[in-house]
Structure 1
Amino acid sequence: GAFNHMHIFLDPDPDPAISFKERERLFALPRSGWTDYDRKLISAGGGVYARSMKSIPLSDQVKTLLGVKADRLAPNELISQLLKASVDLLWNGGIGTYVKAETETHESVGDKANESVRINGGELRCKVVGEGGNLGFTQLGRVEFTSKGGLMYTDAIDNSAGVDCSDHEVNIKILLGQIVSNGDMTEKQRNRLLAEMTDEVAGLVLAHNYSQTQAISLVAWKAPEKLYEHARFIGNLEQRGRLNRELEFLPGARAIAERQARGQGLTKPEISVLHAYSKMNYYDALVESDIPDDAYFQFELKDYFPKVLAERFSAEIVIHRLKREITANHLTNRIVDHVGPGFGFRVREEVGADIPGLTRAYVAISEIFGVDELWGDIEALDNQVTAAIQMELMLMVNDLVRHTVIWLLRHHEQGVSIQSLVDHFRDGVRELAAGMPKPLTSTDRLALNRKVKYLSNAGVPRELAQRVGILAPMASSLDVVKVAWQHDSDILLVASVYFNLGKELQFHWLREQIGMLQIHTHWHDLARTRLSDMLNTHQREITAHILKRNRPLKKAKRMIEQWKADNRLAYARHAEIVAEFKARSSLDFAMLSMVVAGAETMRGSTLS
């Protein structure tokens, strides 16, 4: 069914192909309305009714569909029932606010004309809402609906393609205007070129909006785990006067604590708001930095434009009068859509890096690991595997990106050029990836094979399943490459020592225990991350020491056995503590902090 300001349309059992074709005809018909719909194409029990009628008769088919017993309903009552219908999609394309939260009054909504049809978000029985119109829901109405399992974003997200398209149009016309004024193109040629680029511009806009909603869905998938990170970011924005929490209907400290206790995170409508603020914050930081002037990012500027412009007018694009703003905007969308809202603030708290530094690290990691190509291959699985499998693959990529970006920022000066980072790490990382799973322990190889089999059985091509499956061990690849470079050693030998050492010292088990620690504050979260980072550092440094002292032994396991013999007291003490911990039913921060500190002592003994 459907309704507008004049009519109510009921089609209780439509033929999708026939009804789509008829609606398409009406769309192309000037000044058309529901009364122009061919009545012969409406299913039994349906019809078109004027909203001016006193009451509308309900057929048995309509009563069954809506779950009502009345034989007639007033038009506004019928509209309320339509809004509550058990359907897949509720699409709002009109004017007015039709859904609020139970906690809100009609007066607070500010749309008196629709009070008699308006319902609460918790009364909706549809699966998905699409907001083609603005303000069809209150924000609290959206939150109420999604808190009960419904799927929706916000009107701003669902309508963002229009704004995006306008931005492209303006920026393209500025570029072409300069080219015409230089005498390199006639007005007629400009107009023809604009028409020819229509489909490609539409593709660029849709791709961006696809990425944005994908990003929000990925964040929502892990929202309970990221609640403290999101809450911390909201608080920081509020403290700096960049966000009014009450105005945007974002939860306060008490509500966040209640959600944490229930194992809930932010809803998609709330994440949509935070995502937008994250982009504004990120963009402002980039525009104020030297990032848009860095020649390395010229490819970002060119990627924004249709290919025909990038190829024919490359020189003109790099002197576009809005080049700084376009570059900053393009980078902001690319990065925030991948790492999610608040990651920049999280990075600042962990390693003291700013947004320009994060940007350089992200782009370097993307080049080193071929992230864009891998992400594109996962996106190409649309409608071939389930959305859950796609999101699982994407989150595995995101975990790698987050870990390695922070690693770069922790171990390299922020001013280091992107190209030097790429040149330093890319070949080693790719050599290690190509050699997988050879350097892994037998246990890790078995786990990898199980993961690849699971993904393959879910419909993921085996080659792609393998590339994604190795991402977990590849998170340590920068440590491995660093040691190999420092000691001029074979990358696969270093990796074999590194991974076998981790097994020998039970570091993988310790990481799992650290990951299972209960966190109750943002600082617990940071402390947990720091423990894992310290463990990684110990593993890298002990690996370096083993290679330095025992390289003549050539084989990883022999080198490790010799190291154990040389450091038997420290090793025995560590093994004793781990064995005791394994016998316990649970571990806490203090216990794991102690064993990590013990590993540091063991690392110190190797360097004496």
Structure 2
Amino acid sequence: MGYAAAGRGAKGHDRPEISVLLAHSKAALFERLVATDLVKDARLQRELLNYFPSPLRRDYRSAILDHPLRREILAAHLTNLVVNRMGATFCNYLLENSSADAASLVRAFIAARDLLGIEVLDRELDRLVGELPHSLLMELQLRLHGVLHRMVFRLFRKAPGGLGCDALIRRYQAACDCLRDTLPEQLPGSELACLQEDAATLAGAGVPVELADALARLKYQPIALEVEEVRQIVTRPLADCLRQYLAIGAAVELHWIRREIESLPLYDKWYRKAREALHDGLLQSVRQLAVAALSNGPVGNGKPDVAGLAGLLGELRSMDGLNIAMLTTMVGQLSRLASSPETV
């Protein structure tokens, strides 16, 4: 069976095939990274230092940073970090659909990892090895992977170009912290119930309560990128932007629509592109509505007139399993609502 046929079928690739794909993906990314200036990025210089054992970092810091092969060492280290975490096809897929270079992809990955606190969560999960079933630990790792995938994707495609890792992190750190700290108070009742149920389910399965709560909140973190973009446009306090964005999201059932989009099957790259287009259209519409609301009066006062959406939302919610045509109709109608001058 060829690679394409295996990808389309239920079988998927076996371990030897995955190993070959990983090797080719790493070789391709390494060649691209060696040709970049990543070694000059202050944040990535710390990654270079962290590659070495602590005694070497302590005694030979300058020698490491001035090593004649520092560019190659860093490129190899970053290649392993990204590909081992994101999979064999992730980098190639993003780079073939963008004019940005591999350096921008790596910066987006490091920024997303740090903004989400993935390394901290990894260490917490590692402590549970042997205490929780392997299947549950794998499920939690896939949860981290899914959110990290979304965050890297958004940062790579939407963040301003030319920013180093530290500048990219600084741009979105406050929004990520604000969302993480105030999420339960900001979510609408139905979505708060989903959050609490998720955390309770994880805790009931043996996950420590604080970790269960952090994992339940994690899937909302990519919203912080959208909130920061709203703040950049309207120059209002971050808390106001977050409150208004989530209020708009509740009115148009953002979280439910997003989950339905993410549950669409990915038969090939064209289905992936279609799903991404739906996700982009959904977020763009909510962002436009939030900007309009914040520009038209006190926070919380501006709410979209969703009367035209109510019937469609009700009809879709009554169905079991939505397909891409249904969701395209939904997102298209939301886009028209966001483009209307009388929306709020």
> Could you give the per-residue CA deviations for residues 23-47 of structure 1, whole angstroms, max 9, x where no partner exists?
xxxxxxxxxxxxxxxxxxxxxxxxx
The yes-or-no answer on 1:420 pairing with 2:167 is yes
Q: Is the 8 A contact 1:347 1:353 kept in 2?
A: no
> RMSD between aligned alpha carbons?
2.3
Using the alignment, how far apart are the partners of 1:518 and 1:424 within structure 2?
33
Q: Separation in 2 of the partners of 1:534 and 1:349?
A: 21
**Corresponding residue for 1:446?**
193
- In structure 2, what is the equivalent of residue 601 of structure 1? 336
The answer on 1:298 being equivalent to 2:45 is yes
Answering whether residue 295 of structure 2 is matched by residue 548 of structure 1, we say yes
* 1:221-244 Cα distance to aligned partner (Å, 9 max, x none): xxxxxxxxxxxxxxxxxxxxxxxx
Aligned residue pairs, count:
343
CA change 1:271–1:316 in 2 (3 A) is same
Query: Identity over aligned residues, as a percent?
Result: 28
Alpha-carbon displacement from aligned partner over 1:163-184 (angstroms, at most 9, x marks no partner) = xxxxxxxxxxxxxxxxxxxxxx
The reply to whether residue 539 of structure 1 matches residue 286 of structure 2 is: yes
* Structure-1 separation of matches of 2:5 and 2:146: 29
Distance 2:21 2:100 in 1: 21
Match of 2:91 among 344, 347, 358: 344
Cα displacement string for residues 227-268 of structure 1 (whole angstroms, at most 9, x for unaligned residues): xxxxxxxxxxxxxxxxxxxxxxx73444444xx2xx232223
- CA displacement at 1:452 relative to structure 2: 1.2
Cα distance in 2, alignment partners of residues 413 and 487 from structure 1? 17
Give the CA deviation at 1:333: 1.2
Answer 1 or 2: which has greater helix percent: 2
Which amino acid in the other structure matches residue 78 of structure 2? L
What is the CA deviation profile of residues 393-429 of structure 1, one whole-angstrom value per residue up to 9, with x for unaligned ones? 2222222211111111222243222222111111221
Q: What is the CA distance between 1:549 and its match in structure 2?
A: 0.9
CA contact (8 A) 1:439 1:496 kept: yes
Structure 2: tracts of 5 or more residues without a match: none
Q: Is the 8 A contact 2:6 2:13 kept in 1?
A: no
The residue that corresponds to 1:307 in the other structure is 54
User: Which of the residues 296, 304, 317 maps onto 2:64?
Assistant: 317
The match for 1:572 is 307
- Structure with the higher fraction of residues in strand conformation: 1
Q: CA deviation at 1:275?
A: 1.7
Q: 1:191-340 alignment to 2 at 5 Å? A: 251-257=2-8, 260=9, 263-340=10-87
> Matched residues in 2 for 1:341 and 1:582: separation?
36
**Cα 1:458–1:341 shift into 2, 3 Å:** same
Q: 1:516 to 1:390 in 2, by over 3 A?
A: closer
In 2, are the aligned partners of 1:455 and 1:465 still within 8 Å (CA)?
A: yes
Q: How far off its partner does 1:291 sit?
A: 1.7
Aligned partner of 2:152: which letter? V
CA–CA separation in structure 1 for the residues paired with 2:45 and 2:229: 29
Distance apart, 1:550 and its partner CA: 2.5
Question: Alignment partner for residue 559 of structure 1, among 286, 293, 302?
Answer: 302
1:298-318 per-residue CA deviation (whole Å, 9 max, x = no partner) reads 112211111011011111111
CA–CA separation in structure 2 for the residues paired with 1:445 and 1:255: 40
- TM-score relative to the length of structure 1: 0.53
Distance 1:398 1:518 in 2: 17
2:162 counterpart of 1:411:
no
| TM-score normalised according to structure 2 size | 0.91
Letter of the structure 1 residue corresponding to residue 338 of structure 2: R
Q: 1:283 to 1:580 in 2, by over 3 A?
A: same
Larger-gyration structure (1/2): 1
Q: Deviations for 1:194-214, whole angstroms, at most 9, x for unmatched residues?
A: xxxxxxxxxxxxxxxxxxxxx
Distance 1:518 1:455, change over 3 A: closer
Q: Distance in 2 between matches of 1:350 and 1:580?
A: 35
CA distance 1:351–1:496, shift in 2 (3 Å): farther
- Residues 1:491 and 1:285: Cα distance change in structure 2 (over 3 Å): same
**CA distance in structure 2 between the partners assigned to 1:485 and 1:445 by the alignment:** 27
Q: Which runs of no fewer than 5 residues in structure 1 stay unpaired?
A: 1-249, 565-570
**Equivalents in 2 of 1:276, 1:283: separation in Å?**
10
- Which residue is 1:590 aligned to? 325
Q: Which amino acid aligns with 2:140?
A: L
Q: What CA deviation, in whole Å up to 9, does each residue of 1:476-501 have, x standing for no partner? A: 11111222343333434433332232
Q: Which has the higher contact order (CA 8 A, sep 6+)?
A: 2
Q: In the superposition, relative to structure 1, how do residues 467 and 337 fare at CA in structure 2: closer, same or farther (>3 Å)? A: same
* Cα contact 1:338–1:398 (8 A) shared by 2: yes
Instruction: State the shift of 1:580 in Å.
Output: 3.5
Structure 2 Cα separation of the partners of residues 607 and 411 of structure 1: 27
Q: Which amino acid aligns with 1:595?
A: M
Three-state SS of the structure 1 residue aligned to 2:88 is coil
The change in CA–CA distance for 1:602 and 1:427 in structure 2 (over 3 A counts) is: same
CA distance in 1, matches of 2:106, 2:342: 36
User: In structure 2, how many angstroms separate the alpha carbons of the residues matched to 1:345 and 1:371?
Assistant: 23
The within-5 A match list for 1:119-198 is none
1:393 to 140, 157, 169: 140
Q: CA deviation at 1:351?
A: 4.2
Paired residue type of 1:577: L
SS in 2 for 1:502: helix
Describe the shift of the 1:522–1:498 C-alpha distance in structure 2 as closer, same or farther (beyond 3 A).
same
Task: Give the direction of change, closer, same or farther, for the CA distance of 1:607–1:422 in structure 2 (3 Å limit).
Answer: farther
- Is 1:375 aligned to residue 110 of structure 2? no
Q: What CA distance in whole angstroms lies between the structure 1 residues aligned with 2:45 and 2:155?
A: 22
